Amino acid sequence: MFHKRIKIKDLLTQEPKGQEVTVMGWVRTFRNNQFIALNDGSTNNNIQVVVELGSFDESLLKRITTSAALKVRGIVEPSLGKGQKMDLKAKEIEILGDSDSEAYPLQPKKHSLEFLREIAHLRFRTNTFGAVFRLRHALAFAIHQFFNDKGFVYMHTPIITASDAEGAGETFRVTTLPIDGTAPKTEDGSINFKEDFFGRSTNLTVSGQLEAELGATAFGDVYTFGPTFRAENSNTARHLAEFWMIEPEMAFYDIEDNMELAEEFIKYLIRYAMDNNREDLEFLAQRLAEEEKQLPQDKRSELGLIEKLEFVLNNSFEKLTYTEAISILKESNHNKKKKFQYDITGWGMDLQSEHERYLVEKHFKKPVILYNYPAAIKAFYMRQNDGCEAGKQTVAAMDILVPGIGEIVGGSQREERLEKLVSRMKEMNIPAEELWWYLDIRKFGTVPHAGFGLGFERMVQFVTGMTNIRDVIAFPRTPKSAEF
């Protein structure tokens, strides 16, 4: 069989005993017409293929160039070189795919991450992105395993929707109507979406939460894991127009239950990565340490990547209210010395990433869960708390903040009381008639329920130590960028 091969990762775990094996992969380097570093993507480590001088035609050897694809059958022998325990002594070499080494943009040297984003179709072949995307896979698998083991039902919520769950209005329109100005109009001159494919205005989803709530009121515990879209014109290292979200929704949960599950979930994912992808984490930790050597001392992380992950695993998250957080920020030396780009204006302000990171990295030096936010800066579906803080209405919302990232999880207890929800929607000008189906679950057996959203790319960033979110998704979608 053509594909009867051993993966290099598995081969490297064996002892060299003269066994005959077949490997396939891509050439990283070919030295002295004798030593091929072959890699198949299963690990960052290469197998060294030894080509005995005079054993192969010169014409074949000339085709063994950087990134050429090879099939090699040979004998596994103890290595005489340093840093490797085995070599593969080639008996047969077949070129599966030639590579023009002159034109190939990934030469065996260090490339900047900015350059690699320009050749995103090839960057998987580097050690950095090999490690990042194997970890991304592991974390995705762990997500399903975590919820499956807890008896959650996996829901596929719609990508095309007529609702804007966040009420932000920053959505991508979905339409089959012409965009050249000839689309049918209503009497008042606006676009007549009744003539569109779905008979109404639709957009790409910004969240599967509202639909997941429907599932939670039938199955108890559900989760979604899929792509979401935000038409935010944000060219930052933290934002994407297309990203993946994990959104569990749980019936019979309050805000405390929600916080506990979210903390357990984050720790589970980190532990899974450390148990199953240690080699990739160690490579990325070394890469990050070298990168930070270029920074001034006060900009360097206090902990290395693996130490940071272990610290999160071994410590309970700090819980405090938004009101307490505002007080800490206001009284901080950082604020008094005007070191924040955005001023701490007081209770009711929307915290910026720099404020969140100060709480996590400078004040508590551990992950933080903020809860009980002002109602005025939160979404309509969040449960209004009984009583007030600082004389104002708060909602049972919570955010989890982590070092280097800031907010990684946002969630809340949902408003299960129909009259409160309808009143809040009126305040925020959200048409109840368009969300009749959402209101129905408050009419027919309403229960306390809660949920949260975890941005998958931010989680991958946190675990891998990558500083730009565009480097943890295969083909980043950002303003003016949809190349691949």
Reported as a single tens digit per residue, the pLDDT across 205-237 is 999 999 999 999 999 999 999 999 999 888 888
Asked if 63 and 98 count as a contact pair (C-beta separation under 8 A), the reply is yes
DSSP code at position 189: S
Q: Considering the domain boundaries, does residue 191 fall inside one?
A: no
Residues 91 and 153 in one domain: no
Query: Which stretches within 191-277 are classed as H helix?
Result: 209-219, 255-276
Sheet strand arrangement including 160-161: 160-161, 202-204, 173-174
pLDDT band at 392 (very low <50, low <70, confident <90, very high): confident
For residue 224 the two structure tokens come to 């979604």
Per-residue pLDDT at 261 exceeds 60: yes
Question: Over the stretch 36-53, which tens digit does the pLDDT of each residue have?
Answer: 999 999 999 999 999 999
Q: Considering the domain boundaries, does residue 197 fall inside one?
A: no
For residue 428 the two structure tokens come to 């925020």
Residues 210 and 134 in one domain: yes
Residues 329 and 280 in one domain: yes
Asked if 452 and 395 count as a contact pair (C-beta separation under 8 A), the reply is no
For the chain, what is the domain count? 2
Question: Over the stretch 271-317, which tens digit does the pLDDT of each residue have?
Answer: 999 999 999 999 999 999 998 888 887 777 878 999 999 989 999 99
Q: What is the pLDDT of residue 314?
A: 92
CATH number at residue 386: 3.30.930.10
**One-letter identity of residue 34:** Q
Question: Over the stretch 351-368, which tens digit does the pLDDT of each residue have?
Answer: 999 999 999 999 999 999
| CA angle in degrees (0–180, nearest 5) for 443-448-454 | 115
Range of the domain at 155: 125-171+206-471
DSSP code at position 174: E
Q: What is the pLDDT of residue 303?
A: 84
CA distance 475 to 455: 16
Asked if 248 and 221 count as a contact pair (C-beta separation under 8 A), the reply is yes
Asked if 105 and 119 count as a contact pair (C-beta separation under 8 A), the reply is yes
Per-residue pLDDT at 168 exceeds 70: no
CATH number at residue 101: 2.40.50.140
Q: What is the pLDDT of residue 233?
A: 87
Percent of the chain with pLDDT over 90: 85
Q: What is the pLDDT of residue 1?
A: 62
Asked if 458 and 298 count as a contact pair (C-beta separation under 8 A), the reply is no
Name which of 358, 357, 353, 388 is nearest 373 in CA terms.
388
Asked if 262 and 228 count as a contact pair (C-beta separation under 8 A), the reply is no
Q: Considering the domain boundaries, does residue 231 fall inside one?
A: yes
Asked if 72 and 35 count as a contact pair (C-beta separation under 8 A), the reply is no
CA distance 28 to 389: 61
| CA angle in degrees (0–180, nearest 5) for 296-301-303 | 145
Q: Considering the domain boundaries, does residue 184 fall inside one?
A: no
Give this prediction's pTM: 0.94
Question: Over the stretch 242-252, which tens digit does the pLDDT of each residue have?
Answer: 999 999 999 99
Residue 27 dihedral angles phi and psi, to the nearest 5°: -75, 125
Residues 137 and 63 in one domain: no
Residues 166 and 310 in one domain: yes
Q: Considering the domain boundaries, does residue 385 fall inside one?
A: yes
Residues 298 and 358 in one domain: yes
Residues 41 and 160 in one domain: no
DSSP codes, 273-294: HHHH-HHHHHHHHHHHHHHHTT
Name which of 372, 369, 399, 368 is nearest 383 in CA terms.
372
Q: What is the pLDDT of residue 377?
A: 95
Q: What is the pLDDT of residue 64?
A: 97
Residues 454 and 306 in one domain: yes
Residues 310 and 424 in one domain: yes
Query: Final residue of a domain: which of 61, 79, 109?
Result: 109
Q: What is the pLDDT of residue 209?
A: 95
Residues 245 and 297 in one domain: yes
Q: How far apart are the first and last CA of the chain?
A: 34
Residue 236 makes CB contacts below 8 A (sequence gap 6+) with: none
Q: Considering the domain boundaries, does residue 182 fall inside one?
A: no
For tokens 């979210």, the residue is 262
Q: What is the pLDDT of residue 84?
A: 86
Q: Residue 80: helix, strand or coil by DSSP? A: coil
Q: Considering the domain boundaries, does residue 102 fall inside one?
A: yes
Between 434 and 91, name the one with better pLDDT. 91
Q: What is the pLDDT of residue 169?
A: 61
Per-residue pLDDT at 167 exceeds 60: no
Per-residue pLDDT at 418 exceeds 60: yes
Q: State the chain's mean pLDDT as an integer.
A: 94
Per-residue pLDDT at 391 exceeds 90: no
Asked if 411 and 173 count as a contact pair (C-beta separation under 8 A), the reply is no
Q: What helix, strand, coil percent values describe the chain, rounded to 5?
A: 35, 25, 40
Residues 35 and 129 in one domain: no
Residues 132 and 19 in one domain: no
Q: Considering the domain boundaries, does residue 131 fall inside one?
A: yes
Instruction: Specify which residues 392 forms β-bridges with.
Output: 389
Question: Over the stretch 310-363, which tens digit does the pLDDT of each residue have?
Answer: 989 999 999 999 999 999 999 999 999 999 999 999 999 999 999 999 999 999
CA distance 212 to 240: 23
